[in-house]
Structure 1
Amino acid sequence: PAPEPSPTAAAAEGCSVDFEVGVAPPIKKYSGPVQVTYPFNTSGGVKFKLPEENETNNPMYRFFRDELGIEYVPKWVAASGDVAAQKMAAAMAAGDLPEMFTTSGEQYEILVENDTLADIKDIFERVATPLVKEKLQYPDGKQWIPLMRKGGLLGTAVAMIEANVEMVGYIRQDLLDKLNMPVPKTLEELDETVRKMHETKEIKYGVFCDKSGLHYLLSPVFGAFGVMPRVWLKSPDGKLEYGSINPGIKDALAWLRKWYADGLMDPEFYAKSRWDDLKMVADHGVHWGEWWWTRQAMTVEKEVPGVRWFMEMGAPKGPNGKYGRASAYSVGWNMVYLKGLAPEKIERALMHLNWEIENHANGLKYNSYGAMNWDELFLEGYDWEFTEDCEIRYADYNTGLMVRRVGYHYDNNAYPDFQLDRNKNVATWYAMDRSTLNKAQRMIASDFDARRRAAYQYLMDHKDEQIKDEWWGVPTERMVRLLPDLRVMEEQAFVGIVTGQRSLDAFDAFVKEWKQAGVIRSPRM
């Protein structure tokens, strides 16, 4: 079905479209919607076009309700991860959980132990389309292991696209040009480069980090020493060992500690967020970020005169030639349902999943431009608008973001290979004469998309950099009980060491305390 028209968008005088707009039809049409309570964890930043619009009154929400037959009722609305975590903790403590929600790790294990979750195996295998099972690698994909208990299935694996949160290097190309220096390939070269950049006085600091964590944004520095915090890696005897207690971590912390002491890191990095002010990254010479951060990096280029990023810097080689980046989270999220929930509600939710995968995988069957990253409805005045020369450009009211992370609407995380599939479509447009493309294709095949696509392709072409978490098992009772507090202890120890509040030898005390807790190794999985 064609999406509902924008109520206020009027075509620019004399302009017209030359492309077809549409989305996948419902797999099954219902006579009316069912209501399912769900946590609306939006992460903030959502823009609504009309005064009367909100999380439950917008074009995409109405599409879910009227076309897919499911009406998600907010259990709560949280505009940040911290607030969402607080809401979830309170709901678990009170025994007042949403009917459907995502969970993972120790929290998920507690729910399993308390017999809180519905076994959906029979419904899933009946309702999920062959395309869904293929794209989500069911049942053989490792991401399904935590969900398969006692012959049942306690939810669905929310798939992330491959390398979705792996780090690629962003470095100030304008400063490299000024200094006549190449993109650094080793940690020593990187150190020399950021120091010379810092000497120009055009940046405040050398290397960016924020409260996302040292283990996240600076994972390539740890990889330069052949180690990686927060992941489980195989030891020589074939068992898994927690990466944060590897002796090489101390070497990486020493390197970061030196950068911090020399003024190459923001003295309050641990209390700041790049999302609060995108321009703060321009105060640095180097910033590691996700491939999709190209959008934000290009925004910075527009807002800060002179800034220009090179967006494909690889993981630097360390003193012994080692290198690597933390690979995308392996287990990911689980979409689960409360035990006792009406089967019809579970079926409707799974039909939503069917639609999302069909719309992502086969978008070109229903429109002239293919699947969009945010699964937007591509409405004029919302997702796009005319320019003065009757071309089109992205508008400010993305219909997909209005229901981000509601139900199975998980942006471009529809299935692991989605971004590769999308890039193949867009790549064909780059090889064509632009005059033969329609307006939507020309907009999508913009410089923004080219640089974004190149950053992602770098990650795909350099999988040798990946240091993958080898843990795919069911957490032990001790892990469930102790890991949350131990990770807080780890973060405090690492930040304290880097900032000089603790000595470098405090790492040895941290390792000793961790080992005393007994959560250091697990059998081969």
Structure 2
Amino acid sequence: MRRKLQIKFVIALTLSIAITMSGCSNNGNDGNPDRAGNHNAPSESMSPAASETNHSADRSPFGKYETPIAIQVGKSAGPTDKYPEGDSIENNIWTRFYKDELGIDVKIAWTALMGEQYDQKTKLAIASGNMPDLMTVNAQQLAQLVENDQIADLTDAVEQYASEFTNVLLNADGGMAMKAVTYNGKIMAIPSTGSMIDSSNVLWIRQDWLDKLGLQPPKTIADLKDIAEAFTTRDPNGNDKSDTFGLGITKDLWSITGTAGLEGFFNSYHAYPTIWVKDDSGNLAYGAVQPANKQALADLQEMYKAGWIDPEFGVKDGGRVSEDIGANKIGMLFGKMSTPFYFLATIMADPSIDWRPYPLPSIDATPASTQQDFPVQNYYVVRKGYEHPEAAVKMLNLAEEVTRTSDSEIHKRLKPKFDAALEKTEGFAAFPIIYGDLPTKNITAYLNIKKAMETKDESVLTTKEEKTSYEGLLDYINTKNPANVTYWLVFGPSGSQSVLNEYYSNKRYVGTEFYGAATPAMTTKQSTLNKLIVQEFTKIIVGNSSIDEFDRLVKDWNKIGGEQITKEVNDWKASR
């Protein structure tokens, strides 16, 4: 029972937060794919279905093709994916659902490990023109594919085939997601929708280390520095070795893997480095090149010089930082509401480990506001020339109908089968090929669970997922079973969703001001500019450059493309 609760929680929550991890390694403002020519001819190796013309598409959202059609998919895979015995990435609960319910025969054209490997595979497919019928891309790749006329116009497919729930899903954010995939009035991709609220930054701290050293949670940056020093110098892990660091950071600086990024640190200084904000004149400006970053960089340089930051952070990715967390070397980091997934194995091994989430501290008397990223980072695209672009929409319809609460015949019939497969599935193996999530799903669940806990009235729980999370939370409270600690850390009274609710209720958030399709200059320049920022910020942090070099960085950023991107972004704003 406890394992069942844990697995259901992981899939329910991860469906809404893994969007930045599955598919592409770069976020919506990242990526610099090589420019490709106009490759529109159907690829014989990629699509055996493209040349067939005798298929009849039932125009209902869940209508089955009279003769099965094939669709070649480029798919990402997680590092810990595990299928039930007899299943595989080519033959699993979802491929069978697609075939049996819709008449869609999924063929896996290629797979790659999510992150950098998938990104490289996608770039190669785009550059060669040998694309699968369906794959996931980032914002810059989407813009490139549109410019090169390599992907199908999905306007008719979405308008004619989207189910009622899919229409709600695609427009639940007020239309931002759909604007990001609309080029010249045409829908060119299906956005992998997510939650802007869930992208908020949270400070995670080892509460057991705070208690051991007699320290209080930080409310100011000065408090954070005191904790960082104590965690470095006062042997909080008790092994009589100097092997701990005050603040965990990855070489990427930003939360590409969902943990140990520095966005939250900069937010504490009222700087918002990876989103577009309004400047004093009301124009849109990129956060990383605004003056508020200088003080944050100066303080990071001070902390690094004092030894409170791992001197090897510049070569450590999220995986290696997670290893340090597991080795009891890090007791504080900035992350997301989903960061407990990185703690689970450590807490399972030692239940006395006590991580807690806290709101961002502030550099001054003004409470810090978290930045909120544009929640759509990945986009599902269909190769131009594929005969059945509506198949992608039908696949999304089915995934949402099965995984969400519904009274439909399809849900009642297929959800038990999905749950049974889920019991024997690990990692991202249980994910449908196309999926999305409502923007307020998790915070609504938190509020309903909170009310059920306070009133002892389970009738306020509106979905099966909420009931599962509620049961898992109760189990942890009553038994302290570490397998269910993630319920406590996310949906508990002091869990990460409680911090996000505090931000939301008090309007302590700054959302990105740009959510349109990638501009022309972004497609060719953004990746280079992002690398420049990480490179120069890192030099400043480790002391190889003075803080005054920030001003030179701003000039260089503008010179090599930032100024042009800023103009294009403001042109987009003026056109709205």
TM class, shorter-length: 0.7 to 0.9
**Equivalent position to 1:35, from 63, 66, 70:** 70
Q: Which residue of 1 aligns with 2:248?
A: 208
Report the number of matched residues. Answer: 476
Which runs of at least 4 in structure 1 moved beyond 6 Å after TM superposition? Answer: 364-369, 437-441
Q: Distance in 1 between matches of 2:173 and 2:386?
A: 23
Taking a change above 3 Å as real, the CA distance of residues 403 and 442 of structure 1, as seen in their structure-2 partners, is closer
Distance 2:300 2:510 in 1: 20
Residue 474 and residue 302 in structure 1: after superposition, are their counterparts in 2 closer, same or farther (change >3 A)? closer
**Residue in 2 aligned with 1:387?**
none
Q: Secondary structure, in 3 states, of the residue corresponding to 2:184?
A: coil
Q: Give runs of aligned pairs for residues 44-123 of structure 1, distance below 5 A.
A: 44-50=79-85, 52-123=86-157
Match of residue 381, structure 2, among 336, 342, 348 = 336
- 1:165-205 CA-to-partner distances (Å, cap 9, x unmatched) read 33222111111112222211111111112212322213510
Q: Distance in 2 between matches of 1:318 and 1:492?
A: 25
Shift of 1:288: 1.9
Assess if the C-alpha contact under 8 Å between 1:99 and 1:341 holds in 2. yes
- CA distance in 2 between partners of 1:506 and 1:376 (Å): 58
Shift of 1:104: 3.0
Which AA in structure 1 matches 2:344?
M
Counterpart contact for 1:35–1:70, Cα < 8 Å: yes
Q: 2:429 aligns with which of 402, 409, 417?
A: 402
Correspondence 1:35-434 to 2 at 5 A? 35-50=70-85, 52-137=86-171, 140-203=174-237, 204-214=244-254, 217-276=261-320, 278-281=322-325, 282-304=328-350, 306-311=352-357, 313-319=358-364, 321=366, 323-342=368-387, 345-363=388-406, 377-379=418-420, 383-384=422-423, 397-398=425-426, 401-404=428-431, 407-409=433-435, 413-423=436-446, 426=449, 430=453, 432=456
Secondary structure of 2:308's counterpart equals coil
For residues 466-505 of structure 1, the aligned pairs below 5 Å read 466-505=509-548
CA separation in 2, counterparts of 1:191 and 1:86?
39
How far did 1:428 drift? 6.6
Pair 1:155–1:270, CA change in 2 (3 A)? same
Partners of 1:512 and 1:322 in 2: CA distance: 31
Distance change >3 Å, CA 319–CA 457, structure 1 → 2: closer
2: CA distance, partners of 1:76 / 1:89: 13
Moved more, 450-459 or 89-98: 450-459
Once the two structures are TM-superposed, the CA of residue 301 in structure 1 deviates from its matched residue by 1.9
Give the C-alpha shift of residue 287 in structure 1: 1.7
The aligned amino acid for 2:308 is L
SS in 2 for 1:170: strand
Q: 2 CA distance for matches of 1:428 and 1:30? A: 45
The Cα offsets for residues 248-292 of structure 1, whole Å up to 9 and x where unpaired, read as: 112111111111111111122232234357342231121222212
Percent identical residues: 24
CA 1:215–1:303 in 2, change beyond 3 Å: closer, same or farther? Answer: closer
Q: Deviations over 1:2-43 (max 9, x none)?
A: xxxxxxxxx9xxxxxxxxxxxxxx933445642212221123
Alignment of 1:442 with 2:486, yes or no, is no
Classify the secondary structure of the residue corresponding to 1:206: coil
Amino acid at match of 2:185: G
Three-state SS of the structure 2 residue aligned to 1:238 is coil
Say which structure is richer in helix.
Answer: 2
Residue 474 of structure 1 deviates from its aligned partner by 4.0
Deviations 1:386-420 (A, max 9, x none): xxxxxxxxxx624x83153x5314xxx42223324
Per-residue Cα deviation, 1:222-250 (whole angstroms, up to 9, x for no partner): 11221111221111222111111111112
**RMSD, aligned CA:** 3.3
Aligned CA distance change for structure 1 residues 210 and 57 (closer, same or farther; 3 Å): same
TM-score, normalized by length of structure 2?
0.75
Find the residue that maps to 1:101 and give its secondary structure. strand
Give the superposition deviation at 1:364: 7.0
Conservation of the 8 A alpha-carbon contact between 2:195 and 2:375: no
| Counterpart amino acid of residue 407 in structure 1 | I
Task: Verify the 8 A CA contact 2:179 2:516 in the aligned structure 1.
Answer: yes
Distance 1:493 1:340 in 2: 44
Contact 1:257 1:500 in 2 (8 A): yes
The Cα of 1:425 is off from its aligned counterpart by 6.0
